[in-house]
Amino acid sequence: YATHDITVLVTGETGTGKEVIARYIHASSTRKDKPFVGCNMTAIPETLVESELFGYVRGAFTGADRNKRGLIEAAEGGTLFLDEIGDLAPAIQLKLLRFLEGREFYKVGESVTKMADVRIIAATNKDLDRAIMENGFRKDLFYRLNSARIILPPLRDRKEDIILLVANFIYQACRRTGKPIKKLSSAAKVLFVDYPWPGNIRELKNVVESAGMVSDGEYVTLSDLPMHLQQYATSHREEIGAKAIRDISDAEQEIIEEALKQSSGNKAKAAELLGISTRTLYRKLVRFAVGKAE
């Protein structure tokens, strides 16, 4: 979508990274050298949305003592990201629809139309299909916004991404604080993958940054995590413990297999590389073979 100058609609739960996607699309497009202007529509009082979007002229209303450009003009040549688009009032939905159809708009208090070269990326955590059925969202605006659509799944449905995200967030946090790069303990790793993350990536990032500051050791452990996650770990102790032990065993097996690979299958050399006796190595290999058989 970045290479095609079309309107994009990004949908997904709160915290799934909708603005991150919007910024990535902008940064990968031909508009990357122009402004990226982001706006959360729920952060603007309903009575001010029109003037914030389109701007106003002096004398348009009480307190308008100067001309002001809106977000659309601020994003000229670039991208305007409208977050929480599903919360727009019906009257503003109509004005936005007219802008999307011709890239023309009126400033509040002005009768002369203006043109704007702006790409729109919209996002919402609402079910717009249901909102249309309940007459809360215009069907024609939805069709106009939905030229291209990206649906971001919740973090609980993309567990394979969690540890990669955690590693990245730990790296960023440690770089900012000047601390050595930390690792996750096996139990913490299991909890991170197991927990449902209702706040999605935003919640995950906040938890990792907090744990990174609290942790004094080489590893981030369960005791470094916020209380609600410690309580989750307590209520799922047996399950997390079993998975953590299996995780450690898998890691140990990988290390032994790598040592055997480096020693071309010579078990005595592999044991020497690992710093263990040949007898211990044989015992571990038997245990792994039994585990595979099971």
Determine the 3-state secondary structure of 145 from DSSP: helix
Q: Is the pLDDT of residue 255 over 80?
A: no
Q: Is the pLDDT of residue 245 over 70?
A: no
Q: Is the pLDDT of residue 244 over 60?
A: no
Gap between the Cα atoms of 280 and 267, Å rounded? 11
Most confident region among 12-16, 66-70, 186-190, 235-239 by mean pLDDT:
12-16
Percent of the chain with pLDDT over 70: 91
- The 10s digit of each residue's pLDDT in 48-75 is 888 889 988 888 787 777 888 899 999 9
pLDDT for residue 278: 84
How many other β-carbons are positioned within 10 Å of the β-carbon of residue 188?
A: 24
Q: Is the pLDDT of residue 101 over 60?
A: yes
Gap between the Cα atoms of 246 and 262, Å rounded? 24
Across residues 153-175, what is the average pLDDT?
91
Given its phi and psi angles, is residue 56 left (phi above 0), alpha (psi -120 to 50 degrees) or beta? beta
Across residues 249-265, what is the average pLDDT?
73
Residue carrying the six token digits 């982001």: 38
Across residues 260-272, what is the average pLDDT?
84
The residue type found at 131 is A
Averaged pLDDT score across all residues of the chain? 86
> Cα 157 to the chain's mean position, in Å?
13
Residues 6+ apart with CB under 8 A from 170: 181, 182, 183, 184, 208, 212, 220
Which residues lie across from 56 on neighbouring strands?
68, 108
pLDDT for residue 94: 92
pLDDT for residue 293: 40
